Amino acid sequence: MKFPADQQQLRTLSDNDLRLAVETANACRDQTEADTTLSALYSETERRISCSPLDVETVFTLYELLYGGDELSTPSEKQLATLSHAVASIYHNRDRATFADVHRYIAFLFMALLYVPDKKAEIEYEISHIFDTWMAAYIPGTGWPDTDSAETRRRSSTLLASEAYLSYPRYLSARTALTTQ
């Protein structure tokens, strides 16, 4: 992917193209080019966050900008404040129906646990509600009969990726069943 030459061209990118540019820049082997590109992409993402209704994908793009490239880099306080504000804003103004993908919503809720600590109990309740609904329909050895095989794999993957959360006693048997399939 050829990166847009200036901020004006970056503004013409769709949200999806902006995400692709972030992924490409994070994979760039030339550190100077990557740093310059990520800086421009960060500025554009921050601009979009400040002037339009927030969506969770833009926040995931911002998170990827701050943490996706060099694991050793540390975001600045300003960048962390922008991310924290964006996550809190989406969390406080969210309409669960707007999250078409429940797996993406769960990932967002785990992010919100970090950036909206005053709502920890509420967020954990929401995650538990989703997992409880899934586990009520789960049949050991079979999975979820109300879904297709792709959704069964996604649910298993989401539950296993949430292993720290699933260490609570009531999910221990579900985690054990999923790992032995």
- As a whole number of angstroms, the distance between CA 141 and CA 161 comes to 20
Inside any domain, residue 124: yes
Inside any domain, residue 110: no
- Do 161 and 78 belong together in one domain? no
- Do 152 and 85 belong together in one domain? no
- Is the pLDDT at 146 greater than 70? The verdict is yes
- Do 84 and 123 belong together in one domain? no
- Domain hosting 37: range is 1-93
Q: SS3 of 143, please?
A: strand
- Do 64 and 23 belong together in one domain? yes
- As a whole number of angstroms, the distance between CA 64 and CA 75 comes to 11
- Do 69 and 22 belong together in one domain? yes
Average pLDDT over residues 39-59: 75
- Do 84 and 161 belong together in one domain? no
- Do 1 and 88 belong together in one domain? yes
- Do 14 and 49 belong together in one domain? yes
The total of structural domains in the chain comes to 2
Q: Of the residues 45, 75, 93, which one is the last residue of a structural domain?
A: 93
Inside any domain, residue 44: yes
pLDDT value at position 99? 67
Inside any domain, residue 106: no
Higher pLDDT, 162 or 53: 162
Query: What percent of the chain has pLDDT above 90?
Result: 0
- Amino acid (1-letter code) at residue 67: Y
- Confidence class of residue 164 from pLDDT cuts 50, 70 and 90? low
- Do 123 and 78 belong together in one domain? no
pLDDT value at position 171? 52
- Is the pLDDT at 129 greater than 80? The verdict is yes
- Do 81 and 39 belong together in one domain? yes
Q: Which of 122, 108, 128 is nearest to 169 (CA)?
A: 128
Q: Which of 64, 98, 105 is nearest to 83 (CA)?
A: 64
* Residues 109 and 129: beta-carbon distance below 8 Å: no
Higher pLDDT, 174 or 52: 52
